[in-house]
Amino acid sequence: MTVPSAGRLITVAGIDGAGKSTLAAALHSALNNAGHDAVLIGKHTTEVPADAALSAYLDSLNAIVYRRDQTVGAACGEHYWLFALAAWYSLQDRLVIQPALKAGTHVILDNSHHKIIARYAANPSVPPGLARQVFAHLTSADLVLFLRISPGEALRRKGGFTPLEAGRTGHTGDAFVSYQDDVSARLREQAGQEGWVPIDVTGLTPGSVLDQALASLAPRLGFT
């Protein structure tokens, strides 16, 4: 029996509105069109192949973390949300991502944990380093496409934002910009890690961002 060669884990990092989800979806299509076996995994992917019970369990955890009433957020507190997110990322890694990679399928992960580490690094109510530790066991990405953009341009693209995207510091555009500036600096601190490839997406169309991502990916991952 031949064992398939492991798939590669490709993820996208950047501030809110950098274009991560747009690029992840485009990469998924491009890789499949080029004949690769690739899956797109995001914050609403809860299907564990061939396991209805685990799928149902993962979906119930997803509901707790992502489909909750907005008003319970602040009541539960920063530590609780860090640990709830760590539980979600642990299970998605173990039950969905690792089996896909083992089966030889490439995984494109939208919404990797790096932004959460950056958010918590910008948050003085949680000890520095705690967020890094609770995500340290997750599978390392072979490639992290780091989309660089100013918060002002990200805001123009998005049009609006949620209270969380302004770090619950206010409702004005300035609150979004100053919070995302901080998150951006914390992301840059992580960008020295192996596998991180910065792409300045300022003024680039989605098609040009995809082209740059594919150009970075091909030689690094041995894709043709």
Ligand X SMILES: Nc1ncnc2c1ncn2[C@@H]1O[C@H](COP(=O)(O)OP(=O)(O)O)[C@@H](O)[C@H]1O
Could you list the residues that contact ligand X (CB under 6 A)?
14, 16-22, 157-158, 201, 204-206, 209
Number of residues lying near Mg ion (CB under 5 A): 2
- Mark the segment that binds Mg ion (CB under 5 A) among 13-21, 71-79, 96-104, 152-160: 13-21
Dist. CA 217–CA 197, nearest whole Å: 9
- Measured from the CB of residue 13, what is the shortest distance to ligand X in angstroms? 9
Which C-beta is closer to ligand X: that of 95 or that of 109? Answer: 109
Instruction: Detail the DSSP E strand segments found in the chain.
Output: 9-13, 38-41, 106-109, 143-148, 196-200
Which C-beta is closer to Mg ion: that of 111 or that of 212? Answer: 111
Which C-beta is closer to ligand X: that of 129 or that of 206? Answer: 206
Q: Which does 19 bind (CB under 5 to 8 A by kind): ligand X, Mg ion, none?
A: ligand X
178 contributes a contact to Mg ion by CB under 5 A: no
- Measured from the CB of residue 216, what is the shortest distance to Mg ion in angstroms? 19
The sign of the dihedral angle between the CA atoms of 186, 192, 197, 203 is positive
21 contributes a contact to Mg ion by CB under 5 A: yes
Which C-beta is closer to ligand X: that of 48 or that of 115? Answer: 115
Specify the 3-state DSSP secondary structure of 202.
coil
Q: Which does 16 bind (CB under 5 to 8 A by kind): Mg ion, ligand X, none?
A: ligand X
Which C-beta is closer to ligand X: that of 42 or that of 195? Answer: 42
Q: SS3 breakdown of the chain: % helix, strand, coil, rounded to 5? A: 55, 10, 35
Which C-beta is closer to ligand X: that of 24 or that of 38? Answer: 24
- Displacement of CA 182 from its chain's centroid (Å): 18
- Mark the segment that binds Mg ion (CB under 5 A) among 12-20, 80-88, 141-149, 171-179: 12-20
- Measured from the CB of residue 112, what is the shortest distance to ligand X in angstroms? 11
177 C-beta neighbours (distance < 10 Å), count: 16
In 3D, which of 184, 109, 183 has the Cα closest to residue 139?
Answer: 109
- Measured from the CB of residue 160, what is the shortest distance to ligand X in angstroms? 10
- Measured from the CB of residue 16, what is the shortest distance to ligand X in angstroms? 5
Locus of tokens 């991560």: 20
- Measured from the CB of residue 161, what is the shortest distance to ligand X in angstroms? 10
Long-range contact list for 213-218, CB < 8 A, 24+ apart? 213/23, 213/27, 213/145, 214/27, 214/30, 216/143, 216/145, 217/10, 217/27, 217/143, 217/145
Instruction: Detail the DSSP E strand segments found in 89-191.
Output: 106-109, 143-148
List of residues contacting Mg ion (CB under 5 A): 20-21
